[in-house]
């Protein structure tokens, strides 16, 4: 495969990107900037007190940080994970999580190593598929001059 054909595939792989979550700091002082994608792990008591808003057994909440103050974090929620590891998708609904309900806060960051690995695997797979399926477009033994009655005199 020529490089001009491989470049779009690699570009698509990089657009997909891989992300990981890293601890953002102590819960009582954590204040990432607004708009940051974060994941908040809840304490047991926090899960109980927020059950009416997040659903029963919620363990973690992922979303974009809207703001912080001394009482808690306000999020546009994208996903909630419960104790059974079942995830529910949200559409950016705003929820305020009190600081005493927070066990940990992690910030979403781009992972260049994992993205490079994924990109390499996707590009390698595309190249391998191209090599397997490239050819003249005809099946051996079938083509001009090989039909019934052809070439048998």
Q: What are phi and psi of 131, to 5 degrees?
A: -65, -35
pLDDT tens per residue, range 90-143 = 999 999 999 999 999 998 665 566 556 656 666 677 767 777 777 655 555 555
**Of 74, 108, 68, 104, residue with least CA distance to 92:** 74
Fold of 14-110: SH3 type barrels. (2.30.30)
pTM: 0.57
Q: Identify the sign of the CA torsion 118, 121, 126, 127.
A: positive
Residue extents of the structural domains in the chain: 14-110
Residue 18 — pLDDT band, cuts 50, 70, 90?
low
What is the Cα–Cα distance from 54 to 60, expressed in whole angstroms? 10
**Does the pLDDT of residue 15 top 60, yes or no?**
no
Interhelix angle 112-133/3-16, rounded to 10 degrees, is 140
Residue 144 — pLDDT band, cuts 50, 70, 90?
low
What is the Cα–Cα distance from 60 to 42, expressed in whole angstroms? 6
Q: What is the strand order of the sheet 19-23 is part of?
A: 19-23, 102-110, 37-42, 58-68, 72-82, 87-98
What is the predicted pLDDT for the residue at 78?
96
What is the predicted pLDDT for the residue at 32?
75
């Amino acid at each position: 495969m020529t490089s001009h054909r491989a470049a779009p595939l690699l570009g698509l792989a990089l657009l997909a990107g891989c992300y990981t979550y890293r601890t953002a700091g102590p819960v009582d002082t954590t204040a990432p900037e607004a708009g940051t994608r974060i994941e908040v792990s809840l304490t047991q008591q926090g899960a109980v007190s927020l059950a009416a808003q997040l659903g029963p057994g919620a363990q973690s909440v992922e979303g974009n940080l809207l703001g912080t103050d001394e009482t808690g974090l306000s999020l546009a929620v994208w996903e909630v994970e419960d104790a059974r590891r079942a995830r529910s998708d949200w559409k950016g609904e705003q929820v305020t999580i009190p600081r005493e309900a927070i066990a940990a806060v992690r910030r979403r960051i781009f992972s260049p190593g994992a993205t490079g690995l994924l990109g390499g695997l996707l590009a390698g797979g595309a190249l391998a598929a191209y090599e397997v399926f490239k050819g003249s477009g005809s099946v051996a033994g079938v083509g001009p001059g090989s039909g019934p009655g052809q070439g048998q005199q």
